[in-house]
Structure 1
Amino acid sequence: MTETLPPKTPQPDPAPRGEVMIEAVTHHGMGRTADGTLVPRVLPGELVTLAADGPKIVTPSPERVAPPCRHFKSCGGCAMQHASDGFVASWKAEIVRTALRAQGIEGEIAAVLTSPPDSRRRARLAGRRTKKGALVGFHARASDTVIEVPGCRLMLPQLTGLIPALERIAALAASRKGEAGLTVTDSEAGPDLHIDTDKPLTEELRIALPEIAREAGLARLVWADEIVAELEPPVQRMGRARVVPPPGAFLQATAHGEAALLEAVREAVAGAPRIVDLFAGCGTFSLPLAETSEIHAVEGEAAMLAALDRGWRGVPGLKRVTTETRDLFRRPLLPDELARFDAAVIDPPRAGAQAQVAQLSASQINVIAMVSCSPASFARDAKALIDNGFEMGPVTVVDQFRWSPHVELATRFTRR
């Protein structure tokens, strides 16, 4: 279990009955006592009293701050709003170090880059019908209870302001017993809404939903797998290209985080004339890198590659970009296929890229830019590369999911 230990200080007198000392914070953001009890919303070194309605702080940590959001105690969207920015940055860096140490790797953390409050351009909210209408928000911690979050400090204000319209949609898409998932993404043309529901799309809904979309200023509204309304293409900028991702396609959570990861990748593969982008998505890295290098983008979802290709064709002056639809878990690119590239970019999902990393290790590629959203799978893949002759550079930690346990990172591997 990943922990951030408090600085060494004189031990306090034995705690009175009912009071416990918080020894560490796990990688999930839970405080841990000496006997392994997990306590939410506490910090290392704090003396607390455990109660049914939550811990009572007896001796607060100097790193404790007032949570900036009034929903913090009830909402499960954030775990660490009670900690200073400096503590959270150190905690996230230690999560990465601990994952690397578990694989026998001592890694250097170059920086921790944290997205500002009110900057999430993409969020999945839950919608549930009520007697009076509908409820839209995030889940309470470890619960299916939906908590309203007006004034949420995570999302862009234009997304938070969309909640009244989402409540109208939730009343149509959800039931008293079942939720609807409402994934909303900011775009140049307005919010892009994807509704995850089992309810059928009736003719009445086909009439009502476009009107709600127009009134709310939505660019696109998608019900399950069907586009019901597209008033404007929900464009995302990727370098100089304008990309319209397919419904539900992956997108980095904040513009700040995307820029930080892109900068790390640019530096890693600078000067490489031919680059293979593995798990390329809609072109987050491919299209900006095409300003200076030829790119071969490989991705398992054909619709995302089609969006990437259209974006590339709309920008004169970019280097050649080719695409290949391929399941890199089952059919990784082999060394002879990798032989025509000078560098690789790899940004796998949380499971990592064990099969593809094995083929990269066996190839002649000497430079790899790796991006990851899972320190554990990253550390496993990093060990495989290091064991096969690569050196790992300093790791940049990118905190797009502010106040949460999620960690993203990027680094460069070079063959010795």
Structure 2
Amino acid sequence: MLTLTIDRIGGQGDGVAQGAVPGAVPGAAGPVFAPLTLPGETVRGSVADGRMDRPEIVNASPDRIDPVSPHYGDCGGCSLQHWAAGPYLEWKRDQVRLALAREGIEVEVEPTVASPPGSRRRLALHARRGPDGRAILGFKARKSWRLVEVRECAVADPRLVAALPSLARVADAFLEHPKSAPTLHVTLTLTGLDVDVTGVERRSGGLSADRRMQAIRAAKQADLARLSLAGEVLMMERQPLVQFGPATVPVPAGGFLQAVPEAEQAMVDRAVAAVKGAKKIADLFCGSGTFTFPLATVAPVIAADATEAGIAALKAAVKSARGMKAIEAQARDLFRRPMTPFDLRGCDAIVFDPPRAGAIEQTQQIATTRATTVVGVSCNPQTFARDARVLIDAGFRLETVTPIDQFLWSAHVELLGVFRR
């Protein structure tokens, strides 16, 4: 047993001890990672491979608070629920500062924008057979494939939590094959719940006709708006819809959507404010138009994304939206075929929101355009900093950076940065 002092919280949300406190076993030098701990705490436990998986809190931090979830400590979803809001949000701000500093970028990082509990409109629920044979839904335990059955969730919209029993009955149909490991991607839309199921065994023939019918019956009983299997629609009672600015947009089956409406709005508001006065705007990695439609209230928009279904949804919404400038949308793989300065001619403002890998090829093209304002949205501070370095080296100044706490009580942090030529 070792006794250690936690020095800081690492990038994955675990406490990090750099060495032993006085009186500990000699030679117990860090770093040692200890989950569910806080800076300044003294902890005791067994260490293996640099980890203290079950730390006993000897001296607790004054910033430690009571977790609100009955699944805390077992469920792997909320690794920082025991941390007071102030230092927790400041830690997320520091993660952005550190990522930028590694690229030699100095900028004032704004305070982290918080998301309230009970605000997540999207959940990825894993389904398994329980010991009694019934279908159970939940999240994976920390550092494990074991499933923690979830009956309550402090981060999810209460309407998603209320639907868990009926969603378990839907999941039962997809547990036909022993090698299937279904995940229900559940989205709360304006017209009800949209569920896309992935992880169903296909090599053995996929889901049988009987099980498809069982799934459809359960979906109807649950009053789902739509049920799909890896994007293939099995049942649709109502078209799932979301609101992006002045547009009502049909959600593609299995399509991407920001997880928390309040976080989405915080990013949209800042992006729109940054491009005020622009004559033409490009929205790259646009999805189904999260930023496109609000931006189109300012100026005409060129929108591009690799997902054809997302672009089709965006185009369908353009037909019914009012009070916007012109939108030109195209399906294009921006990793293989980034938009060039020729494609972006006339655009004096560019917004880009790439996946976690960032968009180095596209950023290099943006750097050579005549745009005077660039807004970068990212779910990965490391790749954002790398891409930001390209723009800065091309003559842009990173004016502001705002961290967004979209995934409450996790180590995940998103951000929005505004660049000016």
Q: Place the TM-score, normalised by the shorter chain, in its bin.
A: over 0.9
The normalised TM-score by structure 2 is 0.92
Residue aligning to 1:41: 36
Instruction: Name 2:279's counterpart in structure 1.
Output: 273
The Cα of 1:371 is off from its aligned counterpart by: 0.5
Give the conservation status (yes or no) of the 8 Å contact 1:344–1:368.
Answer: yes
**Deviations 1:274-331, CA, capped at 9 Å, x for gaps:** 1010001000000111122111101111110010011111113321111111111111
Cross-structure match for 1:117: 117
Instruction: Name the residue aligned to 1:353.
Output: 359
Residue in 1 that maps onto 2:164: 163
* Alpha-carbon distance in structure 1 between the residues aligned to 2:356 and 2:77: 19
Amino acid at match of 1:27: G
Q: Distance in 2 between matches of 1:111 and 1:380?
A: 22
Q: Secondary structure at the match of 1:256?
A: helix
Q: Distance in 2 between matches of 1:242 and 1:204?
A: 35
TM alignment of 1:13-92, pairs within 5 A:
18-34=2-18, 35-51=30-46, 54-92=54-92
Q: Is the 8 A contact 2:35 2:53 kept in 1?
A: no
Counterpart of 1:14? none
2:106 pairs with 1:106: yes
Question: RMSD of the alignment, in Å?
Answer: 1.4
Contact 2:124/2:183 (CA < 8 Å) preserved in 1?
Answer: yes
Q: Deviations over 1:324-368 (max 9, x none)?
A: 111111111111222221210100110111011111111111110
The CA deviation at 1:53 is 6.9
User: In 2, distance between residues paired with 1:316 and 1:390?
Assistant: 34
- In structure 2, what is the Cα distance between the partners aligned to 1:215 and 1:169? 9
Partner of 1:4: none
State percent identity of aligned pairs: 40
8 Å Cα contact 2:246/2:322 also seen in 1: no
Distance 1:125 1:376 in 2: 28
- TM-score, scaled to structure 1: 0.93
User: Deviation per CA, 1:219-275, whole angstroms, max 9, x where unpaired?
Assistant: 000022321111111101111211112111111110000000001101111111210
Q: Deviations over 1:111-145 (max 9, x none)?
A: 21111011100010100123421111000011111
Q: SS in structure 2 opposite 1:210?
A: helix
Distance 2:155 2:322 in 1: 36
Aligned to 2:188: 186
Q: Which amino acid aligns with 2:188?
A: D
Aligned to 2:24: none
Q: Which residue of 1 aligns with 2:23?
A: none
The one of 367, 376, 392 equivalent to 1:370 is: 376
Task: Report the CA distance between 1:177 and its aligned residue.
Answer: 4.7
How far the C-alpha of 1:24 sits from its partner, in A, is 1.1
1:173-217 Cα deviation digits (max 9, x unpaired): 125554101100000111100011225233223332222112112
- Counterpart contact for 1:201–1:223, Cα < 8 Å: no
Q: Decide whether the 8 Å contact of 1:129 with 1:176 is kept in 2.
A: no
Q: Which runs of 4+ in 1 moved over 3 A?
A: 175-178
Match of residue 229 from structure 1: 235
In structure 1, the residue corresponding to 2:411 is in which secondary structure?
coil
Structure 2 partner of 1:151:
152
Structure 1 counterpart of 2:406, one-letter code: Q
Contact 1:297–1:324 (CA<8 Å) still a contact in 2?
A: yes
Q: Which residue of 1 aligns with 2:331?
A: 325
Conserved 8 A contact 2:230-2:254: no
The letter for the 2-side match of 1:88 is Y
Equivalent pair of 1:76/1:141 in contact (CA under 8 Å): yes
Gaps of 5+ in 1: 1-16
Aligned to 1:381, the other structure's residue is in SS state: helix
Is residue 390–residue 414 contact of structure 1 (8 Å, CA) maintained in 2? Answer: yes
Alpha-carbon distance in structure 1 between the residues aligned to 2:235 and 2:387: 42
Q: Contact 1:124 / 1:184 at 8 angstroms: preserved in 2? A: yes
The Cα offsets for residues 72-105 of structure 1, whole Å up to 9 and x where unpaired, read as: 1100011100101111101100100000000011
Of 377-386 and 311-320, deviating more is: 311-320
SS at 1:65 equivalent: coil
Counting matched residue pairs gives 399
> Structure 1: which amino acid aligns with 2:380?
S
